Every structure is written in C-alpha cells, then in structure tokens.
Structure 1
C-alpha cells in the first residue's frame, strides 16, 4: 500500500520513468563499484549504505572514518526541514502551510513580503529575490554566509518580479536563505531552538545522535542544510518517509504530510521534479527505471527512497562543487539498486 501511494502520486501526475540521459549510466556489481571508488573513478565517495524492507543489506566506508561517522550532506538537509515543518503542524504549533510567515518574524514589510507563506518557502517559490544558482542574485547563499546574522540578511532581501499561477504558486527559485527562514519560523512557532526541536521530535524517536548543525557567527542554526550526519541515521530517516511517517509501529509524522511533501510542485527538467524540499528522479535498473524521491545535496550527497524496491539508498560524498558529483552518485545508486530484487508485494515482508 505504501509503495502504491508514493509511486502512484508520481505516475498520476505524469512523471516519466524513463529519462533521456545524455550518456548511458554505468551500473557496476558490488565488487566493481568498490574498486571504482577505491581508484577514484567516482571522485570522493565517502560512504554507501542500502536497506530493503527495513533491513540493512549493504554498508561500506571508503575513507579513514568509521561506519556511522557524520558527513556534511549540504542541501540534502533541507528535506529534514520539511519533516520538521510537518511535525510543527501536527503538534499544533503551525496552523498549516498556507499561513503567512512574516507574523513569526517580528515585523511587517508590506507586499509582496507579507503574503509569503510556509508553502512558498517549502516549494522554493517565494517572492524573495534569492537564487543560489545565480551569483548575482541578492539572496545567493554565499552572500548570506559572509554576514554575521543570517536572519537580518534574509529579512532585508528585496523582492523579485512575482506572480502566482492558477494553483497559487509562484515561479521556482532555488533559495537556501528561504529554507533558513523556514527554520526560524519553526523556532518561533514551537518556542524551541530548531536543532533541539528536530532532535526531540524526529531524531530521538529514531535513535539518531551525533548530528552537528552549521551555525551563523551569531549562533543561528542553518535549517537550509549543511549538517553532518551518519549514513545509518539517513537510512532511518529514509525509512520513516518510505513508511509514510511511521517507525517500528510508532507514528512520528502524519501520513498525509509525507504525501504532501512528496507531491511534485515544479518540473525541473525532462526527468527531474521538485516537491516540498524533496526531489523526484528515476534510477535506472535492469528492469527499466524505478521512481525515487530524494534528499539531494552538493557533492553527490543523496538519500533515495525507492518504493518499487521497498528500499532506501544512501550516498555520502565530498565531491563538493564538482560537475560530475551527481552523476557519480547516480552510478552508485544504480549499482546498489541493481543488486536488489523489486518488491511488488510488500506484504511478504
């Protein structure tokens, strides 16, 4: 049932499961994959992990660290912020995603700022003039990092030319500063530090420890990513999402919240879609292509949940700012998935 719900959303919305790749993606058997990583052919892949049906089937570390040692996953951490927002809504701290964020941030600025909602920040479609993919953008993340107080930086950003479509969404603009601001909203709504709330509400129930969040010089938590976390923790987070908010029979997040964040909001390319701080991209397999929802970050850091295989795959890498980083990570993903059998009926587990 879980597989059908998560994958069915993608199929019903017309997401292609056979992307047109510029070059065929290499798939390696486990021994070949490990040799390729050891020889540096896939750059600096640090750790790989895979589980199927809740059972770990593969884990390997490729640097001097130990299994489970934390790695900076960069923007893959944004997807955790989407889970935190769902927790805040479930706990009654936020009324929903259509609430305006400015009342939580101390002052009004007038339009279009006062109409920015939680949903706008979740879907990377706010009126903030902020585009990390354009170094000239006023809100480009490197400019934020050079300041002492990130909140002041984001609150002072200008607006961009902006209009909403028939569904009420604005145009996509990849904005780390907006996701940081979303963490500030969660802090104000819950009256807890963002990292403390996430630890208590999400990490503690999953027995996740040792996570380190990046902070501004004034001490603000970077809810827009850049936390260091272990591969085992990422497997548990991926399983939580694959099980639509449950972990070992315990309800951590509402199932409908998982459905919400894994609903495509923007088409990013021929085979890439964006939901609420989660990505959708198919992974090639011997049987064709398997739809996968992903946490994705700079350097090739990816956590993929693959409903057709009842599987969670983790790639941790330090190929930061390398053009080949994502493709190298997908070689690892495709290779790990090719070693598994599809699970067409999860009731057999």
Structure 2
C-alpha cells in the first residue's frame, strides 16, 4: 500500500491511520508539501455536527430531532420553511431546494460561500416544488451543505455559545484534540457543514469514541442512545449504501468477506471508517478534490488496511 501511495497510484494521499482495540498501530503522513499540518476533510466534518447535535440534546438544550429549525432561528410564524425539522437536515431530507451536486440549484454550497452572511442565504432558500414525505416521514434525499450549516446555527442559538467553542469543550477537549482549523464566512460564521482541518490520529479518536458507544477513556462524551440513533440507516440510497444522521454506511471488502462499516466521508477521498467486528478505526486523508476516483481510492486503501489487521 505504501509503495502504491508513494508512486501516486491513488492520487494525493495525505495520511493513513489505523487504530485497533484502542491503540494506533499504524500512522503515516505522505504529504511532502504540507508536512504534518491539519488537513481539510471537507464534508467528513458534517459527522462532527451530528455528534454536536446529540450532545445538545443530551444536555437538554434541544428537545429532540423533531424540533422545528426556522422558528428556533427567529423566523416569523408564517415562514414557508417552518415545518423543516432537525431530523430533516440530519438526513438530507428537507424541503429546501438545495442540491450540492447541481450547480444550478439555488442552495448549491458554492453559492453560499460567495455570500457575506451564510445564515441569511440558508434561511431564505426556496422550497422544492412537489415536496412530499413518505410513510416514514422523510422527503426525497438531496445533499445540502447549507442545511448542515444551519444545524450549527441552531446549536449556537440554544446554547449561547459559538459552534466551534461548543464542539471544543464538549468533544475535542475531552479527547485532547487541539490542532483544528475551522472554515468561516467573511463575517466569522463557523462552517458546521464541513471543511474543518484536522490530523489523522485525532480523527481516529473520534472514530474510537463512536465505536465505544459515546465513551472515551471511561468518560461519557455523548449518550449511547444518540450513537444508536445517529448510526441507524434512516435512508436507503442504494442496495448497499445507507445514510444515518450525517454518517454513511456500506459493507466494505475484507479478507473473510464484506464487513459492515459506518463512516465519515468527504470530498477528495477523506474517510473515517469504524468496524465493530474488527474493533478498529481506519482513517484516510486525501486531497483528490473533485476527482472521480477519489472515493474509490479511499475504499481501496481501507480494504488494504483491513487485510493487515487481526481478524475478529
């Protein structure tokens, strides 16, 4: 694997970290340009926002995922978006006309980044024509970074803390994670929809905490109840790909057959995959942004890493 990475077979791979049974058994940085600097994991950072929402619910700052977002953020009683819930945004199921995969979508994330105030942009997005909920209460699935950004705004509103400060004290400090760089708007809004820069071993800590049901070194970080809700397959995107609360699920090839894995995923081939049967976390950081092969290469590296682990 190292030989292929160094030869450029997988494009620009920044680092690979493998953790099993609570110990880092492999960690190597391949980024000769930036060294061991925190790396932008893009939308893999959305999964951190899911954890933050769970912590806010655990603390009683939020009632539940059924709470409506726009009224919390000060929208008038007749706002057409007032039925959108926290669950809608966690599962990419809201009525917003927002699809990051379509450049002409009113809510496409690049449109938001050009604005001085992201909150105003996101709160005023139009609704999708013909939106309907299914028998489980979900609308059509549409990947929307602006909606996840608003979840950070919700947390700021109900806690009275900046989103980065809330995550630092509740999640990062207990895990001794210090080297973080958040992206912000021109007015200083924290991008809770991804694009956070972190180190591979620190991401492995996040994966371990999730794998251990919300506990880190015998300290409860987030409730086991929330971890179960977050890692439940709320949306079936295809036969083998599901979506929870801003976490992905798919079987991944291993020496003795496919293994179930929940994972954080971001543009460029960034991935934090947890494996219950292996009791392991595998982190791939990459900078193959907007490349068609990025995700496939990350999965290949994860599969190669699994082959080196002690089998369950």
TM over 0.5, yes or no? yes
Larger deviation, residues 70-79 vs 164-173? 164-173
Asked if 1:86 corresponds to 2:54, the answer is yes
Separation in 1 of the partners of 2:291 and 2:30? 18
1:112 touches 1:127 (CA, 8 Å); kept in 2? Answer: no
Asked if 1:190 corresponds to 2:159, the answer is yes
What's the C-alpha RMSD, in Å, of the aligned pairs? 1.1
Instruction: Give the corresponding residue for 2:139.
Output: 170
Deviation at 1:106, TM superposition (A): 1.6
1:282 touches 1:289 (CA, 8 Å); kept in 2? Answer: yes
Separation in 1 of the partners of 2:80 and 2:136? 17
The SS at the match of 1:87 is helix
Asked if 1:38 corresponds to 2:17, the answer is no
**Number of matched residues?**
310
Separation in 1 of the partners of 2:125 and 2:255? 48
The SS at the match of 2:150 is helix
1:121 touches 1:182 (CA, 8 Å); kept in 2? Answer: yes
Instruction: Give the corresponding residue for 1:324.
Output: 293
The SS at the match of 1:78 is helix
For residues 140-189 of structure 1, what are the alpha-carbon distances to aligned partners after superposition, in whole Å with 9 as ceiling and x for unaligned? 00111111110111111100131111111111110000000111001101
The SS at the match of 2:10 is coil
Instruction: Give the corresponding residue for 1:180.
Output: 149
The SS at the match of 2:71 is helix
What TM-score do the two structures reach when normalised by structure 2?
0.97
The SS at the match of 2:3 is helix
The SS at the match of 1:290 is strand
Separation in 1 of the partners of 2:111 and 2:90? 21
The SS at the match of 1:114 is coil
Deviation at 1:112, TM superposition (A): 4.4
Higher relative contact order (CA 8 A, sep 6+): 1
Instruction: Give the corresponding residue for 1:142.
Output: 110
Deviation at 1:218, TM superposition (A): 1.0
Q: 231, 235, 248: which is aligned to 2:200? A: 231
Separation in 1 of the partners of 2:122 and 2:77? 12
The SS at the match of 1:295 is strand
For structure 1, list consecutive stretches of 5 or more residues without a partner in the other structure. 1-32, 344-349
Separation in 1 of the partners of 2:134 and 2:77? 23
Instruction: Give the corresponding residue for 2:266.
Output: 297
What TM-score do the two structures reach when normalised by structure 1?
0.87
Instruction: Give the corresponding residue for 1:208.
Output: 177
More helix by share: 1
Deviation at 1:111, TM superposition (A): 5.8
For structure 2, list consecutive stretches of 5 or more residues without a partner in the other structure. none
Deviation at 1:271, TM superposition (A): 1.5
Instruction: Give the corresponding residue for 2:125.
Output: 157
Instruction: Give the corresponding residue for 1:107.
Output: 75
For residues 294-332 of structure 1, what are the alpha-carbon distances to aligned partners after superposition, in whole Å with 9 as ceiling and x for unaligned? 000000000000111000000000000000001111111
Deviation at 1:103, TM superposition (A): 2.0
2:45 touches 2:196 (CA, 8 Å); kept in 1? Answer: yes
Separation in 1 of the partners of 2:11 and 2:286? 8
Instruction: Give the corresponding residue for 2:243.
Output: 274
Separation in 1 of the partners of 2:31 and 2:194? 23
